[in-house]
Amino acid sequence: MRKQIEGSRAVAEAVALARPEVICAYPISPQTHIVEALSAIVKSGELEPCEYVNVESEFAAMSVAIGASAAGARSYTATASQGLLFMVEAVYNASGLGLPIVMTVANRAIGAPINIWNDHSDAMSQRDSGWIQLYAQDNQEAVDLHIQAFRLAEAVSLPVMVCMDGFILTHAVEEVELPEQQVVDDFLPPFEPRQVLDPDDPVSIGAMVGPEAFMEVRYLAHRRQMDALELIPEIAGAYGEATGRLRNGLISEYRLEDAEVVVVALGSVLGTLQDTVDALRDNGVRAGVLGITSFRPFPLDAVREAIGHVRTVVVLEKALAVGIGGIVTNNVRTALAGTAIPVRTVIAGLGGRPILQESLARMIETVDDLDELSFLDLRTDLVEREIERTRSSRRSGPTAENLLRDVGAVGDPHGVRTPR
């Protein structure tokens, strides 16, 4: 059914269509609307049978999902930002145990300074957690990826994170088509794990594994993700047949055929990039966009095939690996290893900084002048002042608050505080 609907609501309805049996909820912006909607769906009896558990922390949310999944129940939760970090120990545990939990991450920055707006720092911090990570570029894709995520997770016995940009997608009302229940039921068979906690057939799950088999468990986790690389397009294909919405599942290509300059990105910024490229092409700039839908597993071959022929590549990243720069960049470089294609990193949109079409156009037009690492629309006046101050004084302090002192908003602008 096609309707104008908020992204969070659409995802909640999509999750409900997948018939999860246990949902664990803990509030954190900007995923709250998802669990609120699911709360109503479960309480009103629309989704039965389903246990909706209001937990006391994200750590508990993932832990409840672990227990439920190990006992054979299809399990779902949602989180973001600090919440994702708070549950990290359990995030790794879920993938280590091979439990096919599906979790929405409504991508949001990580503090300090505390910031509720969108970037990809949260999910990127978990890129090596063993979870599959899928990034939605719009709300329709968020809906479609969630339904596919359950089938994928249960097929490869790995948990799946569906990442959608906080506020930009979660709070945007746009037209979305939700599949009929029968379509989803035909697409997604019931969850039937190989080993569960069953008194009729007792097993010990979660034993302490020593050096004799630990590496094998890790290796198999990697192999499963490699299997997922083949399975994701298959599942996307089957879903496309069932719903008429066919996407590749691993990557999305936009005007790449004759492209000289390609921007690689994840998530909702792809839409802005596509508009930018359309405008530039009207002016004769041969630009294209490559979206990464599956960041884990990373589709090395698909990326190479898609952009291995271009002149230059810019990776637009909504996260920053402090001390080195790009995160996605390293993955793209691995895909392009052996080619001479220069790959530059542009960090953009951190903490919700708007990514403007004109800034992106300028970035593409001046691509050959870009440094290896640059920051889109960085307020250089602010940072230069602070860098200058730290050169003259080595005294430490909270960065955001130091900026305020630098511009004279608080205290002495020269930053001198007499030690007691």
Partner 1 sequence: MSAEPIKFYQVGSFAVGNRLLDITERSAQSDPSRPNSINSGHRACQGCGEALGARYALDAAMRATAGDMVAVNATGCLEVFSTPYPETSWQIPWLHSLFGNAPAVATGVAAAMKVKGRETRVVGQAGDGGTVDIGMGALSGMFERNDDVLFICYDNEAYMNTGVQRSGATPPAARTATTQAVGDHPGNVFGQGKDLPRIAMAHEIPYVATATVANLRDLEAKVEKAMQMRGARYIHVLVPCPLGWGSASKDTILLARLAMESGLFPVFEAEYGEVTSVLPVRRRVPVTEYLRLQKRYAHLFHPEPDASTLERLQAMADRNFRRYDIQEVDV
Query: Residues in the site for partner 1, rule: CB under 8 A?
Result: 21-22, 24, 49-51, 53-57, 59-60, 63-73, 75, 89-90, 93, 97, 197-199, 201-210, 212-213
| Dihedral sign (CA 406, 412, 415, 420) | negative
In the complex, what is the shortest distance from the CB of residue 32 to partner 1, in angstroms, rounded to a whole number? 19
- Judged by CB, which is closer to partner 1: 198, or 278? 198
In the complex, what is the shortest distance from the CB of residue 133 to partner 1, in angstroms, rounded to a whole number? 22
Q: Which residue has the tokens 């970035």?
A: 363
Cβ atoms of 70 and 196 within 8 Å: the answer is yes
- Judged by CB, which is closer to partner 1: 72, or 415? 72
- Judged by CB, which is closer to partner 1: 70, or 303? 70
Strands 173-177 and 2-6: antiparallel
- Judged by CB, which is closer to partner 1: 51, or 275? 51
User: What 8-state DSSP symbol labels residue 360?
Assistant: H
Cβ atoms of 119 and 109 within 8 Å: the answer is yes
In the complex, what is the shortest distance from the CB of residue 52 to partner 1, in angstroms, rounded to a whole number? 9
Provide long-range contacts, Cβ within 8 A and 24+ apart, for 206-209.
Answer: 206/97
- Judged by CB, which is closer to partner 1: 92, or 375? 92
Q: CA 202 → CA 65, 205, 209, distances in Å?
A: 20, 10, 19
Integer Cα distance of 24 and 35 in angstroms: 8
- Judged by CB, which is closer to partner 1: 102, or 266? 102
In the complex, what is the shortest distance from the CB of residue 58 to partner 1, in angstroms, rounded to a whole number? 11
In the complex, what is the shortest distance from the CB of residue 353 to partner 1, in angstroms, rounded to a whole number? 34
In the complex, what is the shortest distance from the CB of residue 85 to partner 1, in angstroms, rounded to a whole number? 15
- Judged by CB, which is closer to partner 1: 70, or 160? 70
In the complex, what is the shortest distance from the CB of residue 20 to partner 1, in angstroms, rounded to a whole number? 10
- Judged by CB, which is closer to partner 1: 69, or 329? 69
- Judged by CB, which is closer to partner 1: 14, or 91? 91
In the complex, what is the shortest distance from the CB of residue 216 to partner 1, in angstroms, rounded to a whole number? 11
- Judged by CB, which is closer to partner 1: 20, or 349? 20
Q: Which residue has the tokens 């300059």?
A: 261
| Closest of 91, 150, 77, 102 to residue 126, by C-alpha | 91
- Judged by CB, which is closer to partner 1: 89, or 301? 89
Which tokens hold the place of 40?
């109503």
Sheet strands (E) in 234-377: 251-254, 261-265, 287-292, 294-296, 312-317, 343-347, 373-375
Side-chain-side CA neighbours of residue 198 (13 Å)? 9
Q: CA 150 → CA 116, 247, 276, distances in Å?
A: 28, 17, 34
Q: Which residue has the tokens 């997608």?
A: 169
Q: What is the number of other CB atoms lying within 10 angstroms of the CB of residue 53?
A: 16
User: What 8-state DSSP symbol labels residue 179?
Assistant: P
Backbone angles phi, psi at 176, to 5 degrees: -135, 140
In the complex, what is the shortest distance from the CB of residue 56 to partner 1, in angstroms, rounded to a whole number? 3
DSSP codes, 113-168: SP--S--SHHHHTTTTSS-EEEE-SSHHHHHHHHHHHHHHHHHHT--EEEEEETTT
In the complex, what is the shortest distance from the CB of residue 86 to partner 1, in angstroms, rounded to a whole number? 11
In the complex, what is the shortest distance from the CB of residue 200 to partner 1, in angstroms, rounded to a whole number? 9
